Amino acid sequence: MKDIAIFLYCKSEIIAKPWAESGVECHLFDIQEYEGSKTDNIIHHCGDIRKVRKELGVLLRSNNCRIIGSFTPCTDMSVAGARHFEKKSLNDSLFWARAAELALIGLDLAEFFEIPYFIENPRTVLGTLIERKHEFKFHPWQFGGYLPEEHKHSLYPEIYPPRDAYPKETWLWVGNGLWIPDPKPVKPVSNDYPGWSKLGGKSDRTKEIRSCTPEGFSIALYRANTFFD
């Protein structure tokens, strides 16, 4: 059995890169439709995750899964969009149930197969929907010290400052022995989240940039959960 890692609702390879570089085969499942690919131990899958549970089950039964990470879409749950909740509810009385379902796919798989996991969301109503408070919260700058002093963002250097020196409160639900890394903070360059201050609109590019996993946290999480390897 080979070691694998599974990351749901994830197109960017940032979270997978440290695992892939160590030889772990990473499977990235994203709900968007795009041309899937395989490069350097990273395999992309695209489409409605609700329709590939069987594929996920086969992966988990036939391999040694080290971690499941779920970057659950926050469009219908982030408190930043709370002013739209009433309108969405009038248009679709089940919109929150559908949002929670996406989060529960990763949680249910991880609990059934007893795999260390995390579910990620910004400040959100997800905890209310799944009746469970988050176990951890952080800002990217708190893990910027895992990046070198000469660091520049690998994907969006025009948006995100070096060493993830920016604020964005992120919540995590974790379980099955997942280790939370120790912080190595740097000083944030401002109190503004650049995903809002430097970007506008609702384009797919804007959404991808705003959902980008902090690079320092990705490295820290990998190291914390492979410490005894």
- What ranges do the domains of the chain cover? 3-224
Return mean pLDDT, the chain: 86
Residue-level length of the chain: 229
E-strand ranges in 71-198 read 117-122, 136-138, 170-175
Residue spans of alpha helices (H) in 23-72: 53-62
- For residues 227 and 16, the model is more confident at 16
Least confident of 31-45, 58-72, 100-114: 31-45
Which residues, 6+ apart, have CB-to-CB distance to 82 below 8 Å?
Answer: none
- Minimal CA–CA distance to 118: which of 109, 129, 105, 107? 107
SS3 184: coil
- Helix 95-113 to helix 53-62 angle (10° resolution) is 20
Instruction: Say yes or no to pLDDT of 98 above 90.
Output: no
Topology annotation, domain 3-224: Rossmann fold (3.40.50)
As a whole-number percent, the residues of the chain with pLDDT over 70 amount to 85
Mean pLDDT of 122-143: 85
pLDDT tier at 82, thresholds 50, 70, 90:
very low
pLDDT of residue 79: 47
